[in-house]
Amino acid sequence: MTDRSFSGQATEIGRRGFMTGLGALSLAPGAAFAQAGALGKTGATPAATPAGLNADMAAYFAREEPYFAELAKEFTLDPNVVYFMAAQKGSMPKAVLARMKEGLDKVAADPFPVYVEPSAKIREGIAKAYGTTTDQIAITRNTTDALTLAAMGIDWKAGDEILMSPLEHPTGITIALRLAARYGVVIKQWGIPVGPNVTADEVVAALEKRIVPGKTKVVFFSSPLWPTGMRLPEAKISAAAQRAGAVTIVDGAHYNGMIDPRLDETGIDFFALCGHKWQCGPGGTGLLYVRNKPNAANGSALPKFHLVRTQSRDVPFDGSRGGFDIGQALSMYGFPESADWRALGDAVAMWDRIGRARIETWHMTLGGYFLDRLADAFGDDAILRPRKDPALQSGIVGFNPFPKAEQRMDEKLNVDFRSRMLREYGFRISGLGVGRNGLTRSPDPEAQSFPVGSIPNRDPDTLAPKPMAHPQRVNACLWNTRQQIDNFVAATKDLTAKMTA
Ligand X SMILES: Cc1ncc(COP(=O)(O)O)c(C=O)c1O
Q: Kindly list the residues in this chain that would bind ligand X in the complex (CB under 6 A).
A: 142-144, 169, 171, 222, 226, 251, 253, 274, 286
Q: What angle do CA 322, 324, 328 make, to 5 degrees?
A: 150
Specify the residue, 368 or 433, whose C-beta has the smaller distance to ligand X. Answer: 433
C-beta of 168: minimal distance to ligand X in Å?
7
Alpha-carbon torsion 461, 465, 231, 365, what sign?
negative
C-beta of 192: minimal distance to ligand X in Å?
14
Q: Environment class of residue 405 by beta-carbon count within 10 Å: exposed (0-12), middle (13-18) or buried (19+)?
A: exposed
CA–CA dist 193, 186 (Å, integer): 23
Cβ-count burial 365-384 (b if 16+ within 10 Å, e if not): bbbbbbbbbbbbbbeeebbb
Give the bridge partners for 270, in sequence order.
Answer: 249, 290
C-beta of 280: minimal distance to ligand X in Å?
13
C-beta of 345: minimal distance to ligand X in Å?
17
Specify the residue, 60 or 399, whose C-beta has the smaller distance to ligand X. Answer: 399
Which residues are CB-contacts of 112 (< 8 A; sequence separation ≥ 6)? none
Specify the residue, 293 or 418, whose C-beta has the smaller distance to ligand X. Answer: 418
Specify the residue, 133 or 228, whose C-beta has the smaller distance to ligand X. Answer: 228
CA–CA dist 188, 162 (Å, integer): 6
C-beta of 249: minimal distance to ligand X in Å?
12
Specify the residue, 40 or 286, whose C-beta has the smaller distance to ligand X. Answer: 286
Nearest Cα to 187, choosing from 151, 223, 145? 151
Amino acid present at 364? M
CA–CA dist 22, 20 (Å, integer): 6
C-beta of 382: minimal distance to ligand X in Å?
21
Specify the residue, 194 or 244, whose C-beta has the smaller distance to ligand X. Answer: 194
C-beta of 496: minimal distance to ligand X in Å?
25
Specify the residue, 142 or 242, whose C-beta has the smaller distance to ligand X. Answer: 142
